[in-house]
């Protein structure tokens, strides 16, 4: 491999004397290769590994903001597991992720199928679909918050006028079930474009011939979807679902803006509870322990899905 | 043409990058901003003119001291996270605006301001004890009390007149009146949700019924009691008979909107809705009036928000910050600042409290009286970081919300007792 020397030549540095020795050293494949990865590794170490290590250390100490802490072993984990609020948060997180993900998958594939058709204004539509994904979450969620407002809810106003609800209509952010429905709805609205556009890319890459062959064999539109589209979409879907599981589990903005975990902690997720306990309450140790609970779960999800993708 | 413009772009860009790099390498701002700078992190005041006056005074102090004073304001609910980040990284602003238990949570990270508290107290007739308490930790003064926000009743007098009702003197009377007012289409409103007004009202009601959260020692949980049960039962009835379910989703601005929309008849809140109506020239300002916080079987008590000024220990400008604080407490400056807030900022120093702005407006005249029955949160114990955690984890709000949602009162109180015990257990070692 003489990539290194080419790089030197390109830079106009001929190999002379001491420089030549450096050049020779640099030219070795293992040095040059690792040299190329080094910046990325450094970034990962500083921005991912270091905070992660700190979080583990915090979770094992009684660290408070502004004051040093001592090692306390697993006391923080025992404490949060014994706390009803945390147990409820675990349950909320699973309900939230499972329902939101199901909706995003089904609606995402559906939307992608629609977008794949030869519609008029195709480009415009595809661009418009991405909007919820592009607008900063905190901003768009504020819009939703206003729509769910107890006094001026445009959702209730519309539904009442259309006769779909009886007055006064649901109290979206004040009742446990409705509040969960509201945060899930906003999460689905926000995450849908990511699903639709990625699945659309998968759809476009399926060769037309398969459909033609299926049609010749007498497959209807459902049959074509079931036996051609879906199996060929599987790898793409697996990746999208993998990413979305991570994003959904660790969601913060939507819940923080809409409900702050209320009413009565019925919409708290790991991230919002960790924020409340660790930053607002100052208990960094417990906050870190709460957010680290995400890690083994997400690691398991990633492991299973990556194995599945490899098998495919 | 294209090639040249690209080269030009590169030249400009590399020049800018180099400039930036040297700036970063020097570790200081470019020459035009090299004057010594004092920075202050505060909140977006509910009466924005108050911040305008603060910035004006900061500029005046800067001119006089030959420094730049920068006042940064952010939403009040974001302050806690920002404080945590600054204390953790040992960098950020020089001064902060404290609330609740902040001086206690950051006891180890804040500079001692005892000298300043002494001096100002002597100069201006002494501090109100309830206001002073929020700055005095076990190891010394960590905040100078800045102002407190009276938490009276704000009501719509037209709705009361229509129902033929006087203003309620007790919480029990509020319940009685509330039932009538709700039937009239004008419910009352007290938040039972994850917001800070929920705390303010809960403390006032609980104390009025003789209930406590912690014993006077500041560490024995005392929320599970017959007195608290009375409070919770009162909330349950008020929720069902005199309020709308929307109070379960309210934030700190919701009750303001509720009264300003003309629907609500009574809220427990500072005078900000009235001031907002005046500023926006809304006709409803004429109908809005205030009366003192209601009483209960154990007398009248109020838990107003009390705010302070503190200086980070890591600041390189501790002395300068102290000078700035003294400047803000000059009589003429403090007076101007009270006027800018239109009577919203109540002084913690007795001599400043004589300002005529309250007596002049009949709708404000009763506000200074609130100081007579105000306590710092945690009373009868001293305020501490455990009280702060009870609030930041919304234990009081959730206890009431659980009971209102159908959980037996006894069980809701047991849940709260457990949560309070957890807050105490994690108590900070100073």
Does B268 lie in the same domain as B196?
yes
Nearest CA to A76 out of A265, A298, A283 is that of A283
Does B119 lie in the same domain as B240?
no
Each residue's pLDDT tens digit, A23-70: 888 888 888 889 899 999 999 999 989 999 999 999 998 888 877 778
Nearest-angstrom CA–CA distance, A26 and A8: 10
Return the top range by mean pLDDT from A88-97, A231-240, A245-254: A88-97
- The set of residues, in sequence order, having a beta carbon less than 8 Å from that of B95 and lying 6+ positions away, is B38, B39, B40, B41, B309, B310, B311, B312, B315, B321, B324, B325
Give me the pLDDT at residue A150, please: 77
Does B167 lie in the same domain as B289?
yes
In a domain, B188, yes or no: yes
Q: Any idea where the domains of chain A sit in the sequence? A: 3-59, 75-311
Does B124 lie in the same domain as B164?
no
In a domain, B134, yes or no: yes
Residues of chain A with C-beta less than 8 angstroms from the C-beta of B248: 171, 174-175, 262-263
Judged by a CB distance cut-off of 8 A, whether residue A261 touches chain B is: yes
**CB < 8 Å from A in window 248-287 of B:** 248-251, 254, 257-258, 261, 263
Among A150, A155, A173, A252, most B C-beta atoms within 10 A, so best to mutate, is A150
The pTM assigned to this predicted structure is: 0.84
- Identify whether A263 is preceded by a cis peptide bond (ω within 30 of 0): yes
- Identify whether A153 is preceded by a cis peptide bond (ω within 30 of 0): no
In a domain, B41, yes or no: yes
Surface-to-core class of residue B68, CB atoms within 10 Å of its CB (0-12 exposed, 13-18 middle, 19+ buried): middle
Q: What is the mean pLDDT of chain B?
A: 91
Residue A211 has pLDDT above 80, yes or no: yes
> Has the ipTM of the complex gone over 0.85?
no
Structural Rg of chain B based on CA atoms: 24
CB contact under 8 A, A151 and B422: no
Judged by a CB distance cut-off of 8 A, whether residue A31 touches chain B is: no
Provide the CATH number for the domain formed by A75-311 in this structure. Answer: 1.10.3720.10
CB contact under 8 A, A262 and B249: yes
Nearest-angstrom CA–CA distance, B27 and A284: 30
Does B358 lie in the same domain as B321?
yes
Tokens of A13: 């540095």
In a domain, B136, yes or no: yes
Q: Report the residue from B195, B402, B426 with minimal CB separation from A283.
A: B426
In a domain, B7, yes or no: no
Give me the pLDDT at residue A9, please: 53
**CB < 8 Å from A in window 179-208 of B:** 193-195
Nearest-angstrom CA–CA distance, A155 and A177: 16
- Parallel/antiparallel/unpaired status of strands B140-141 and B136-137: antiparallel
Q: Are residues B157 and B289 in contact, defined by beta-carbon separation less than 8 angstroms?
A: yes
Residues of chain B with C-beta less than 8 angstroms from the C-beta of A151: 246, 254, 257-258, 261, 263
In a domain, B15, yes or no: no
Percent of chain B with pLDDT over 90: 85
Q: Of the ranges A63-67, A291-295, B121-125, B228-232, which one carries the lowest mean pLDDT score?
A: A63-67
A150, closest residue in chain B (CA to CA):
B246
CB contact under 8 A, B109 and A79: no
Tokens of B89: 């990284």
Residue B12 has pLDDT above 50, yes or no: no
Nearest-angstrom CA–CA distance, B263 and A171: 17
Overall number of domains in chain B: 2
Give me the pLDDT at residue B27, please: 45
Determine the distance from the C-alpha atom of residue B189 to the mean position of all C-alpha atoms in its chain, rounded to a whole number: 19
Judged by a CB distance cut-off of 8 A, whether residue A290 touches chain B is: no
Give the residue numbers spanning the domain of B198.
153-302+384-425
Nearest-angstrom CA–CA distance, B89 and B71: 20
Residues of chain A with C-beta less than 8 angstroms from the C-beta of B246: 150-151, 171, 174
Give me the pLDDT at residue A293, please: 87
Give me the pLDDT at residue A165, please: 82
Q: What band does B28 get if pLDDT is binned at 50, 70 and 90?
A: very low
Q: Report the residue from A67, A83, A171 with minimal CB separation from B249.
A: A171
Residue A304 has pLDDT above 90, yes or no: no
CATH number at residue B142: 3.40.190.10
Residues of chain A with C-beta less than 8 angstroms from the C-beta of B425: 79
3-state secondary structure of B18: helix
Phi-psi group of A12: left, alpha or beta (phi > 0 → left; psi -120 to 50 → alpha; rest → beta): left
Does B256 lie in the same domain as B227?
yes
Judged by a CB distance cut-off of 8 A, whether residue A177 touches chain B is: no
Give me the pLDDT at residue B207, please: 98
CB contact under 8 A, A168 and B80: no
CB contact under 8 A, A66 and B248: no
Does B69 lie in the same domain as B143?
yes
Alpha carbon distances (Å) from B340 to A78, B94, B211, B371: 51, 25, 37, 21
Q: What band does A10 get if pLDDT is binned at 50, 70 and 90?
A: low
Looking at residues B227-252, what average pLDDT do you find?
A: 95
CA torsion, ordered B136, B137, B140, B146, to nearest 10 deg: -30
Does B279 lie in the same domain as B413?
yes
Between B320 and A217, the more confident residue is B320
Residue B395 has pLDDT above 70, yes or no: yes
Nearest-angstrom CA–CA distance, A145 and A151: 11
CB contact under 8 A, A276 and B392: yes
Q: What band does A262 get if pLDDT is binned at 50, 70 and 90?
A: confident
Nearest CA to B156 out of B295, B342, B283, B48 is that of B283
Each residue's pLDDT tens digit, A112-165: 999 888 878 888 888 888 888 888 888 899 899 989 887 778 888 888 888 888
Number of H helices, E strands in chain A: 18, 0
């Amino acid at each position: 491999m003489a990539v290194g020397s080419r790089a030197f030549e390109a830079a106009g540095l001929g190999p002379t004397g001491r420089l030549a020795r450096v050049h020779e050293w640099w030219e070795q494949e293992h040095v040059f290769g690792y040299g190329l990865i080094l910046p990325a590794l450094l970034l990962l170490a500083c921005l991912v590994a270091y905070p992660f290590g700190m979080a583990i250390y915090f979770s094992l100490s009684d660290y408070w903001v502004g004051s040093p802490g001592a090692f306390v072993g697993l006391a923080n984990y025992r404490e949060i597991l014994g706390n009803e609020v945390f147990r409820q948060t675990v349950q909320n997180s699973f309900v939230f992720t499972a329902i939101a993900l199901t909706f995003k998958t089904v609606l995402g594939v559906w939307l992608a199928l629609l977008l794949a058709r030869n519609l008029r204004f195709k480009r415009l539509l595809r661009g418009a679909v991405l909007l919820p994904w592009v607008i900063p979450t905190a901003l768009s969620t504020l819009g939703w918050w206003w729509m769910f407002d107890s006094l001026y809810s445009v959702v209730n106003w519309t539904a009442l006028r259309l006769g779909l609800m009886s007055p006064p209509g649901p109290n979206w952010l004040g009742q446990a079930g409705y509040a969960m429905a509201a945060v899930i709805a906003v999460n689905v609205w926000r995450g849908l474009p990511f699903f639709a556009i990625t699945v659309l890319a998968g759809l476009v890459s399926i060769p037309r011939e398969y459909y033609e062959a299926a049609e010749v064999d007498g497959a209807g539109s459902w049959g074509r979807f079931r036996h051609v589209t879906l199996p060929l979409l599987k790898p793409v879907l697996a990746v999208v679902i993998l990413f979305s599981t991570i994003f959904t589990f660790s969601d913060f903005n939507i819940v923080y803006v809409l409900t702050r975990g209320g009413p009565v902690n019925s919409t708290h997720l790991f991230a919002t509870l960790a924020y409340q306990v660790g930053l607002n309450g100052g208990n960094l140790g417990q906050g870190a322990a709460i957010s680290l609970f995400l890690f083994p779960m997400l690691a398991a999800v990633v492991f299973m899905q990556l194995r599945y993708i490899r098998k495919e | 043409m294209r090639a040249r413009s690209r080269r030009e772009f590169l030249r400009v860009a590399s020049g800018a990058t180099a400039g930036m790099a040297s700036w970063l390498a020097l570790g200081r701002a470019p020459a035009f901003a090299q004057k010594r700078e004092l920075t202050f992190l505060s909140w977006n005041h509910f009466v924005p003119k108050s911040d305008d006056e603060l910035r004006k005074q900061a500029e005046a102090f800067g001119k006089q001291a030959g420094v730049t004073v920068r006042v940064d304001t952010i939403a009040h609910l974001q302050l806690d996270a920002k404080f945590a980040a600054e204390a953790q990284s040992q960098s950020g602003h020089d001064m902060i605006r404290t609330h609740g238990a902040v001086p206690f949570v950051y006891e180890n990270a804040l500079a001692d301001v005892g000298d300043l508290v002494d001096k100002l107290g002597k100069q201006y007739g002494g501090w109100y004890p309830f206001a002073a308490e929020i700055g005095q930790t076990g190891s010394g003064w960590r905040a100078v009390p800045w102002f407190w926000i009276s938490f009276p009743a704000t009501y719509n007098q037209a709705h009361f007149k229509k129902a033929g009702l006087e203003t309620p003197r007790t919480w029990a009377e509020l319940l009685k009146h509330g039932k009538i007012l709700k039937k009239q289409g004008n419910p009352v409103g007290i938040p039972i949700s994850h917001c800070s007004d929920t705390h303010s009202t809960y403390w006032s009601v609980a104390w009025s019924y003789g209930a406590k959260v912690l014993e006077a020692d500041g560490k024995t949980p005392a929320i599970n009691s017959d007195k608290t049960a009375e409070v919770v039962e009162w909330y349950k009835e008020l929720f069902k008979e005199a309020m709308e379910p929307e109070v379960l989703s309210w934030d700190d601005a919701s009750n303001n909107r509720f009264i300003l929309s003309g629907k609500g008849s009574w809220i427990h809140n500072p005078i900000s809705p009235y001031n907002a109506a005046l500023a926006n020239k809304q006709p409803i300002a004429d109908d809005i009036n205030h009366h003192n916080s209601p009483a209960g079987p154990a007398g009248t008590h109020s838990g107003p928000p009390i705010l302070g000024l503190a200086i980070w220990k890591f600041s390189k400008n501790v002395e300068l910050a102290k000078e700035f604080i003294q400047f803000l407490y000059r009589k003429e400056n403090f007076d101007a600042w009270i006027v800018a807030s239109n009577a919203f900022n109540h002084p913690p120093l007795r001599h400043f409290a004589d300002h005529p702005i309250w007596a002049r407006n009949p709708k404000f005249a009763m506000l200074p009286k609130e100081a007579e029955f105000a306590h710092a949160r945690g009373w009868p114990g001293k305020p501490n970081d455990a009280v702060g955690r009870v609030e930041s984890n919304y234990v009081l709000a959730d206890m009431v919300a659980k009971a209102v949602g159908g959980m037996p009162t006894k069980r809701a109180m047991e849940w709260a007792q457990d949560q309070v015990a957890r807050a105490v257990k994690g108590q900070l070692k100073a």
